[in-house]
């Protein structure tokens, strides 16, 4: 069965410092993976997606993620955090056979001034 594990429930960074949100996946085949962001009282927004074309994926708002098969990881990074990045981030896998998105438990990112 496919699943994703987000290793940190909360991450706090200072504005202008790098962001690292960790995600590991479990799959018997090369999965499609996504990062979604959810701002308070807002809907889920797709940040980026990996669908086996390139291992380094660039998304919106300066975020990127690298698919590492050897580590079964898909960590989300950003070189410099902005206050507006404060939100909850979900690592998500696509279960091809089931046609469902499987969500991780989320990482709440706080950005301190």
Partner 1 sequence: GAGVSQTPSNKVTEKGKYVELRCDPISGHTALYWYRQSLGQGPEFLIYFQGTGAADDSGLPNDRFFAVRPEGSVSTLKIQRTERGDSAVYLCASSPTGGENGYTFGSGTRLTVV
The residues binding partner 1 (CB under 8 A) are 32, 34, 36, 42-46, 49, 51, 90, 92, 94, 96, 98-106
Q: Is 79 exposed, middle or buried (0-12, 13-18, 19+ CB in 10 A)?
A: exposed
CB of 40 to partner 1, least distance (A): 12
What 3-state class would DSSP assign to 100?
strand
Q: What's the residue count for the chain? A: 113
Looking at the Cβ atoms of 15 and 103, the one nearer to partner 1 is: 103
Contact (Cβ atoms closer than 8 angstroms) between residue 90 and residue 23: no
CB of 29 to partner 1, least distance (A): 13
CB of 65 to partner 1, least distance (A): 13
């Amino acid at each position: 069965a496919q699943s994703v594990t987000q290793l940190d429930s909360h991450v706090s960074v200072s504005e202008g410092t790098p962001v690292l949100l960790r995600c590991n996946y479990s799959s018997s085949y090369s999965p499609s993976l996504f990062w979604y962001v959810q701002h308070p009282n807002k809907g889920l927004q797709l940040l980026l997606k990996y669908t086996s074309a390139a291992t380094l994926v660039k998304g919106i708002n300066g975020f990127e993620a690298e698919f590492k098969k050897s580590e079964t990881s898909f960590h989300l990074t950003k070189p410099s955090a902005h206050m507006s990045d404060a939100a909850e981030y979900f690592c998500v896998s696509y279960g091809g056979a089931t046609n469902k998105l499987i969500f991780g438990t989320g990482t709440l990112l706080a950005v301190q001034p």
